[in-house]
Amino acid sequence: MVERTIVGAHYGLSGWLAQRITAVVMALATLVIVGGIWSASPLTYAIWKSLFAKWWMWLSISLFLLSVMLHAWVGVRDILMDYIKPTAIRLTLEVVFLLALAYYTIWAMQILWRI
Protein backbone atom coordinates (compact mmCIF):
# COMPACT_ATOMS: atom_id res chain seq x y z
CA MET A 1 0.00 0.00 0.00
CA VAL A 2 1.24 3.41 -0.92
CA GLU A 3 1.13 5.93 1.89
CA ARG A 4 0.53 9.36 0.53
CA THR A 5 -0.43 12.58 2.20
CA ILE A 6 -2.48 14.67 -0.11
CA VAL A 7 -2.60 18.25 1.02
CA GLY A 8 -4.21 19.77 -2.00
CA ALA A 9 -5.50 18.73 -5.39
CA HIS A 10 -4.89 21.83 -7.41
CA TYR A 11 -1.23 21.30 -8.32
CA GLY A 12 -0.63 22.23 -11.91
CA LEU A 13 -4.19 23.36 -12.49
CA SER A 14 -3.29 27.07 -12.62
CA GLY A 15 -0.52 26.35 -15.14
CA TRP A 16 -2.81 24.16 -17.21
CA LEU A 17 -5.51 26.84 -17.21
CA ALA A 18 -3.02 29.64 -17.98
CA GLN A 19 -1.75 27.67 -20.97
CA ARG A 20 -5.30 27.36 -22.37
CA ILE A 21 -6.26 30.99 -21.73
CA THR A 22 -3.05 32.30 -23.30
CA ALA A 23 -3.64 29.93 -26.25
CA VAL A 24 -7.05 31.48 -26.94
CA VAL A 25 -5.63 35.01 -26.55
CA MET A 26 -2.80 34.25 -28.99
CA ALA A 27 -5.11 32.57 -31.51
CA LEU A 28 -7.35 35.66 -31.62
CA ALA A 29 -4.37 38.05 -31.64
CA THR A 30 -2.82 36.09 -34.53
CA LEU A 31 -5.89 36.73 -36.69
CA VAL A 32 -5.81 40.49 -35.91
CA ILE A 33 -2.05 40.77 -36.52
CA VAL A 34 -2.12 38.78 -39.77
CA GLY A 35 -5.11 40.81 -40.96
CA GLY A 36 -3.29 44.04 -40.08
CA ILE A 37 -0.11 43.08 -41.93
CA TRP A 38 -2.20 41.83 -44.86
CA SER A 39 -3.91 45.22 -45.21
CA ALA A 40 -0.66 47.21 -44.97
CA SER A 41 0.75 47.98 -48.37
CA PRO A 42 3.09 49.07 -49.79
CA LEU A 43 5.34 47.81 -47.00
CA THR A 44 7.50 50.83 -46.22
CA TYR A 45 8.99 51.72 -42.84
CA ALA A 46 6.48 54.53 -42.28
CA ILE A 47 3.50 52.28 -42.98
CA TRP A 48 5.00 49.38 -40.96
CA LYS A 49 5.61 51.63 -37.95
CA SER A 50 2.21 53.33 -38.10
CA LEU A 51 0.56 49.89 -38.39
CA PHE A 52 2.09 48.82 -35.07
CA ALA A 53 1.07 52.14 -33.53
CA LYS A 54 -2.63 51.52 -34.23
CA TRP A 55 -4.28 50.74 -30.89
CA TRP A 56 -5.77 47.36 -31.94
CA MET A 57 -2.48 46.21 -33.45
CA TRP A 58 -0.48 47.42 -30.44
CA LEU A 59 -2.90 45.76 -28.02
CA SER A 60 -2.89 42.48 -29.99
CA ILE A 61 0.88 42.28 -30.25
CA SER A 62 1.31 43.21 -26.57
CA LEU A 63 -1.17 40.56 -25.42
CA PHE A 64 0.43 38.07 -27.81
CA LEU A 65 3.96 38.64 -26.55
CA LEU A 66 2.97 38.52 -22.87
CA SER A 67 0.89 35.38 -23.49
CA VAL A 68 3.64 33.62 -25.41
CA MET A 69 6.05 33.97 -22.46
CA LEU A 70 3.62 32.39 -19.98
CA HIS A 71 2.47 29.76 -22.51
CA ALA A 72 6.04 28.79 -23.37
CA TRP A 73 6.99 28.53 -19.71
CA VAL A 74 4.19 26.02 -18.98
CA GLY A 75 5.09 24.09 -22.15
CA VAL A 76 8.84 23.93 -21.60
CA ARG A 77 8.30 22.97 -17.96
CA ASP A 78 6.14 20.03 -19.11
CA ILE A 79 8.81 18.93 -21.59
CA LEU A 80 11.61 19.16 -19.00
CA MET A 81 9.53 17.23 -16.43
CA ASP A 82 8.92 14.46 -18.97
CA TYR A 83 12.40 13.96 -20.37
CA ILE A 84 14.99 15.28 -17.92
CA LYS A 85 14.96 12.95 -14.93
CA PRO A 86 18.04 14.07 -12.91
CA THR A 87 16.71 16.79 -10.62
CA ALA A 88 19.83 18.97 -10.70
CA ILE A 89 19.93 19.15 -14.50
CA ARG A 90 16.17 19.70 -14.75
CA LEU A 91 16.18 22.52 -12.20
CA THR A 92 19.17 24.14 -13.91
CA LEU A 93 17.42 24.04 -17.29
CA GLU A 94 14.20 25.37 -15.73
CA VAL A 95 16.10 28.33 -14.31
CA VAL A 96 17.81 28.93 -17.68
CA PHE A 97 14.48 29.00 -19.54
CA LEU A 98 12.78 31.06 -16.83
CA LEU A 99 15.56 33.68 -16.95
CA ALA A 100 15.48 33.68 -20.77
CA LEU A 101 11.71 34.20 -20.81
CA ALA A 102 11.98 36.95 -18.19
CA TYR A 103 14.61 38.65 -20.35
CA TYR A 104 12.44 38.24 -23.48
CA THR A 105 9.50 39.81 -21.63
CA ILE A 106 11.54 42.90 -20.75
CA TRP A 107 12.90 43.05 -24.30
CA ALA A 108 9.37 42.74 -25.75
CA MET A 109 8.16 45.56 -23.49
CA GLN A 110 11.07 47.70 -24.63
CA ILE A 111 10.13 47.11 -28.28
CA LEU A 112 6.48 47.91 -27.54
CA TRP A 113 7.17 51.09 -25.52
CA ARG A 114 9.33 52.44 -28.33
CA ILE A 115 6.59 52.18 -30.96
- Footprint of other proteins (CB under 8 A): 20, 23-24, 27, 30, 43-45, 48-49, 52, 68, 72, 75-76, 79, 97, 100, 104, 107-108, 111, 114-115
CB 111, min distance to other proteins, A? 5
Q: Where are the alpha helices (DSSP H) in 2-86?
A: 13-39, 45-53, 55-83
Identify the sign of the CA torsion 99, 100, 103, 105: negative
Closest to 113 measured CA to CA, from 66, 58, 76, 75: 58
Please identify, using beta-carbon distances, which residue of 7 and 46 lies nearer to other proteins: 46
Nearer to other proteins, 27 or 91 (CB): 27
